[in-house]
Structure 1
């Protein structure tokens, strides 16, 4: 099972965005209240997992419901552990942002926690895509696309970019000191390399 979609209980994706990522996915995991969002869109998830404090089932249903009450892990962590058990390689997460800021910050921390366990893991919402990029990253993006670079923890050193309006050359980004917000694609492909740290890339879609 290669492509897994995880639907969380944050700001719901538009139906267009949901269908865009649901249709090619091999498996849909709803993280607790994400199950309500899926059902409201007329889709049965393959499984609902979490402490089930938000999911309101509408029986009868044919999908699996797994209750894991461990309060040391949030529902996204539980969903990602299940995705790993299912052999997922490429993970797309919807509904992980919005609502409470502490939940969004926690989910970004979870992104780092699980990043090395998958070929690709990204968070997508109605405004863009967020992912931790490897030390050598290359992607063709539309000219004019807005992108931002953020150090997820501490500092990221030796950053060099090409294809961006404001290029970096062996530079450092550090929390509370300097970030790389609101840059813009001016060439193809966009290439980003760095030496050390955890570098978060946000690509705006609107």
Structure 2
């Protein structure tokens, strides 16, 4: 299999699975589909086939019948998501969507958020998606348009984020500080279609929540 320069990559991990339509819609716009170890089983259950299965293979066992290329990387200093992202970077991926990086074990979710920070600078965009939220690290100056009454949460991934100013949110901040254990920015609401978020120092994570009861 020959993979040349590509732009859009979808990675499926072994956490809580996305809705099948979420995954299939993302795959319509992707150039490469990577399953991180046990994510291959989720792909199979949804009737889709990855091009690459990569990991330490403690969850997935090679059958020899795969259409995918199976890459066994036994390195215990990196988790399966790190392995998948490193592969995507090596193949010149630019925009990466990761499903299944959250849910199940909380320690795995926290580790994957750390991996998000680790690899964020290597791609033009790196986004986690699940049934409930779209999650990514914010640039220092960020603006977007969202439906009114969309739930938006901000989380100081670096522990403390300074100089936070928001517009278009119900609970506004002006040059404020978010710090774990002191003040967080969870469960805010959009009051305008256009929102703007600025921060001066630290790593600020945003959760944009879907309106879903599933």
- Normalising by the smaller structure, the TM-score range is over 0.9
Q: 2:24 corresponds to which residue? A: 19
d(CA) in 2 for partners of 1:56, 1:140: 43
Correspondence for 2:128: 123
Equivalent in the alignment of 2:116: 111
1:31-77 CA-partner distances (Å, limit 9, x unpaired):
00001111121211010000011114454222100000000000000
Q: How far apart are the structure 1 equivalents of 2:65 and 2:101?
A: 27
* Superposed CA offset, 1:133-189 (max 9, x none): 100011111111000001002211111111111111000001111110010011121
Match of 2:73 in 1: 68
Trace 1:1-206 onto structure 2 (pairs within 5 A).
1-206=6-211
Structure 1 residues not aligned, in runs of 5+: none
- Corresponding residue SS for 2:182: coil
Equivalent pairs counted in the alignment come to: 206
- Asked whether the 8 Å contact 1:149–1:200 carries over to 2, the reply is yes
Q: Distance in 2 between matches of 1:166 and 1:128?
A: 20
Does the CA-based 8 Å contact 1:36-1:56 persist in structure 2?
Answer: no
Instruction: Give structure 1 regions of 4+ aligned residues with deviation exceeding 2 angstroms.
Output: 56-59
Matching residue of 2:3 = none
For the Cα contact (< 8 Å) 1:36–1:57, is it kept in 2? no
Unaligned runs of 5+ in 2: 1-5
Superposed CA deviations along residues 85-104 of structure 1, whole A, max 9, x for unmatched, are: 01111110000111110000
Q: Once superposed, what is the RMSD of the aligned Cα atoms? A: 1.0
Q: Distance in 1 between matches of 2:19 and 2:99?
A: 10
| Separation (CA, whole Å) in 2 of partners of 1:161 and 1:145 | 15
